[in-house]
Structure 1
Amino acid sequence: MDLAVLREDMVDSLESAVKDVLQNESVAVAMRDVPRHEFVDDDRLAYADREHEVLGTRVLAPSTVARMLQALALEDDDEVLIVGAGVGYTAAVAAELVGETNVHAIDISRPLVIEARQNLERAGYDGVLVDRRDGARGFPEYAPFDRILLEAATVEPPRALREQLTADGRLVFPRGTQHQRLEAMSATGDRTRFDAVSFDPLLVEGEQSGTIERNRTAREDLEHAIRRAESRRGWELDWIEWEESIGPQ
């Protein structure tokens, strides 16, 4: 089984009139160069246009990766942040387009960060920086970014990600809940909509697999505290205000 031939066939299929997914020549060349089998355990399935599951996350189908990177519209030497590193394949294709050291990837799951680092090193992209972070907070230490790719669904992208864009930056994300579409947002708020997609929702700290306590998420904790504060009435509110007014003794 010649994996290079399978890789060529995969890209040819995405460019074909039947699928008509891949129109950008630079993205096509990058996908022909990245050894996808280094990111998927089963060589037979590595070049099939289908999703896989690894360590509790979905490895995106090649057609989905192509759609996202085309929407991202990468240019030479762009500083790129990928939120949701997964197994590292998208980061590797981006590295072919802008250079390894210009690609930063984060994931909330520590096992996935380790997996992505190992895969990228084995595939020859060890210059890509992968770190464990809450994706909703971005990667401020390396901001600003010319391009940010969010590989998780949300109704609106987190403010931190928008604030980490350059003045002419571009953020691509799956917008929506049950019904999602790929959307690109400029730093000024202009939007472009693309094809329908299906992604898992963006997780915040405490929601990722492997956490000790998952009965209530971090977001639910905050919402619960706000509701409790707003529900205080009568003697309970008076007592709290009286305590605050007298201060420490």
Structure 2
Amino acid sequence: MDPAVLREDMVDGLESAPKEVLADEAVSVAMRDVPRHEFLDDERSAYADREHEALGTRVLAPSTVARLFQALALEDDDAVLIVGAGIGYTAAVAAEIVGETSVHAVDISRPLVIEARRNLAEAGYEGVLVDRRDGENGLPEYAPFDRILLEAAAVEPPRALLDQLAADGRLVFPRGTQRQRLAAVSPDGEIDRFDPVAFDPLLVEGEQSGAVERNRMTREDRERAQRRAESRRGWEQDWIEWDEAIDRQSQPRSRRRRSR
């Protein structure tokens, strides 16, 4: 069947009952135009509303993509950063709305970066920049961004991503761990909440598929240090404060000895 017809059927299904997940005209037009089959192997299943697996990552179902972009609320000429480029499909949808040279994407997996670049070029979006980066660090060289889409779950958005938002920017991400809800955050911390979602967690260096050594110690060390700092109570906190008091008392005596 003609892929254009399959795209029309896909978007019609997202707009109408029983799904009714797509109401934004700009997103609707973009999803009708992006040749999704260029990003997946099987042409017919590419337009089915279901997830796929590719190179160790989960390819989002069209209904999930629609929900992400409606929460993102793109406007013409917005500078966009997509964290978690995957196979490149969401970057292509963004490019249809804001223009390909306004879209930047990063992924921690080198094979996925190569795949996304190839798919985007074959689909006609060569102007989208795709780079291999640790997503929580963003892409500071091209900041600020009007919109950032984080396609991975986190309890709170990474500080670096918030810092790379424009003054009136918007960061959309799945918030939570086991129970997640799509959220949109502004630079001042204001949060809009949307429907429940289920995404894989944000990875740091060493956690990506294909890494020579899978290693979560970077994240674990940071989280343990934070928990230790937050859990200092009772006698432990008293001991720390007592040590600091002794240090302060000893400093003047040391200075007097030096002055003599």
Q: Distance in 2 between matches of 1:226 and 1:51?
A: 35
d(CA) in 2 for partners of 1:74 and 1:226? 35
2:119 is equivalent to residue 119 of structure 1: yes
Aligned residue number for residue 146 of structure 1: 146
Q: 1:127 to 1:162 in 2, by over 3 A?
A: same
Quick one: structure 1 residues 155 and 225, their matched pair in 2 at CA, closer, same or farther if it must change by over 3 Å?
closer
Distance 1:46 1:141, change over 3 A: same
Counterpart residue identity of residue 199, structure 2 = F
1:211-238 CA-to-partner distances (Å, cap 9, x unmatched) read: 122254322244578899x99xxxxxxx
C-alpha distance in structure 1 between counterparts of 2:150 and 2:216, whole Å = 24
Output aligned runs, 1:229-248, within 5 Å. Answer: none
Match of 1:219 in 2: 219
- CA pair 192-61 structure 1, distance change in 2 beyond 3 A: same
**1:148 partner SS:** strand
Which residue of structure 1 lines up, in the alignment, with residue 208 of structure 2?
208
Q: Report the TM-score, using the length of structure 1 for normalisation.
A: 0.89
Report SS of the residue matched to 1:81: strand
**Quick one: distance in 1 between partners of 2:202 and 2:144?**
21
Q: Note the C-alpha offset of 1:154.
A: 0.4
Residue 132 (1) aligns with residue 142 (2): no
Partner of 2:250: none
Alpha carbons of structure 1 residues 224 and 19: separation in structure 2 relative to 1, 3 Å = closer
What per-residue deviation string (whole Å, max 9, x for no partner) do you get for residues 148-188 of structure 1?
00000001000000000000000000001111110001111
Separation in 2, partners of 1:61, 1:186: 26
Please state how far the C-alpha of 1:138 moved relative to its aligned partner. Answer: 0.4
Give the drift of 1:147.
0.2
TM-score, normalising length: structure 2: 0.85
User: 1:227 and 1:70 mapped to 2: Cα distance?
Assistant: 36
> Structure 1, unaligned stretches of length 5 or more?
232-249
Equivalent residue number for residue 15 of structure 2: 15
Residues paired across the two proteins, number: 232
Kindly state the Cα deviation for residue 205 of structure 1 after the two structures are TM-superposed: 0.6
Structure 1 letter corresponding to 2:111: P
- Bigger radius of gyration, 1 or 2? 2
Per the alignment, residue 61 of structure 1 pairs with: 61
Change (3 A) 1:112 1:222: same
Contact 2:206 2:215 in 1 (8 A): no
1:118-168 deviation digits (Å, cap 9, x = unpaired): 000000001000000000000000000000000000010000000000000
Counterpart-to-counterpart distance in 1, 2:79 and 2:227: 40
Q: RMSD between aligned alpha carbons?
A: 1.9
Match of 1:168 in 2: 168
Corresponding position: 1:191 with 2:184: no
Residue identity over aligned pairs, in percent, reads 79
